[in-house]
Amino acid sequence: MLESQKLKNMQNMKCYAYIIAGVVLQTIIILVFALTVMRIKTPSVRLTSVTVQNLKYNTTGSPTFSMNLIAEIAVKNKNFGHFRFDDSTTNVTYGDVIVGDGDIIKGRANARKTKRFNVTIDISSNGVTDSAKLSNELKSGNLTLTGLASLRGKVTLMKVMKKRKTAKMNCKMTVQLETTAVHNLDCE
């Protein structure tokens, strides 16, 4: 009788050991899943290309410039859930002065994908007050502009987890006035 009781106790201990090992293994799997897949990252926004149209500039007298930019914007979503962003605006600045803006319509970047779309921006130097700097830059043949945007939206994972994220864009570019080409497109 004592032998059968010892055998039963050993079997119970093995059973408890298997249950504890299973619980520990499941906890590790859930923890790894939560730290890798469920971690919500901020999507990135970049200018991938810019085309200049209808460029007009004047270096004599009061320096001015005007043009239309067609900017291709890419929203890269690194998450395992989609990123749905609201309507927004992209601004183009010369120095600290906003010289143009364009509308970004709301959209969705799917999970682990990049959404690309075009934005048309009308640029005019009407608000620029530093005419000496502008005149020097126009005479050099290169105009430095900065593109700024902020996309607010939600990342949704498995229709359960939702987290607000704001993707920001800050891109510097140089417009070569003679060829109307954009050089040195650099995004932070």
Tens digit of each residue's pLDDT (9 = 90 or more) over 14-58: 899 999 999 999 999 988 887 777 789 999 999 999 999 999 999
Report if pTM > 0.85.
no
Q: Which two tokens stand for residue 157?
A: 């994972």
H helices of 37-152, in order, are: 131-140
**Closest of 153, 154, 138, 148 to residue 169, by C-alpha:** 148
**Partner residues linked to 147 by β-bridges:** 92, 171
How do strand 82-85 and strand 161-176 relate by DSSP bridges? unpaired
> pLDDT, tens digit, for every residue of 150-170?
999 999 988 888 999 999 999
> pLDDT, tens digit, for every residue of 89-126?
999 999 999 999 999 999 999 999 999 999 999 999 99
User: Residue 11 and residue 14: Cα distance in Å, rounded?
Assistant: 5
User: Residue 183 and residue 188: Cα distance in Å, rounded?
Assistant: 16
Residue 1: the pLDDT is 61
> pLDDT, tens digit, for every residue of 58-82?
988 889 999 999 999 999 999 989 9
> pLDDT, tens digit, for every residue of 129-147?
888 999 999 999 999 999 9
